Structure 1
């Protein structure tokens, strides 16, 4: 904070010809900030994996096999031979990349085929594929909920759900993590007004 204040004063009172000095001040401030992150023990070191994604991996500069507990490869699909072969075939059939977002010219027959298969499996009229849960949650709340609606959410929900809720116009209530009594209070609070939907 002190560094930021000093930097703002420097910016205000530094002539253009002293831009190199200002760059040095900025660099010094940034280095101080980085040092404080390291000292706090919150510096994020990038671990470079030198093997394929699996439950057992190796990282660069290590001779040991490691168990990977932090990946999103929950079902082991990243190194499934059937999926790898299907991906290779898809590269030959559809090329590498879509060259556009879906609503312009990025929807291909393979998307529609997968959506239809998923809809049939779940016995639904249709399905929409999203590239990630973040994208899905960012769009679904904003699309379905209006200003008079309520959305009630656990305070420790995934960041994608929290961000999706922030983007929508609905009234937002958070209940304490796994606290059904607090959830009941929030439900009662939301029923007091004239609303169409409560989620």
Structure 2
């Protein structure tokens, strides 16, 4: 009987090679599945963020387009430190916002806008329903805009005579009414008024 040569014995090598190859393929497959899952989550979150961003952009546009709903005599004649819109009313959930400032799509509120005189952080926004999300009125994004005079001369090159006209500056703050969304857009706008009307 011939002694076995264990050094040159290759029996079972193919089986071990196939097993290692299968383990390698399994690890690669699991890694690919995990990567795909993460990518799907990232894409989903990005879609939600973009949708919310566009909703708030639409809210800003609605605030500018529908200025007659907030630029009322009562708003213009109220004290500059307390002038903001909306001041009263509530939706079906008691959120303290009016239909005039809500963007509604398929029966769901997708955005809301607030407008205040652009004078300083002293503007009273204590009635805004989302103050607790920011800590205080001073920390609210609506109070983080640059301080400018509410009443001022028309801008150079605007075509309005400073002797006869004045501008009034306002800040529009648009944000999602959903607590898990943090998209907040703001824009400063002004309107020209005749001093003698």
Query: TM-score category by the smaller chain?
Result: under 0.3
Greater radius of gyration (CA): 2
- Structure with a larger share of its residues in helix: 1
Q: RCO greater where, 1 or 2, for CA within 8 Å and sep 6 or more?
A: 2
- When normalised by structure 2's length, the TM-score is 0.16
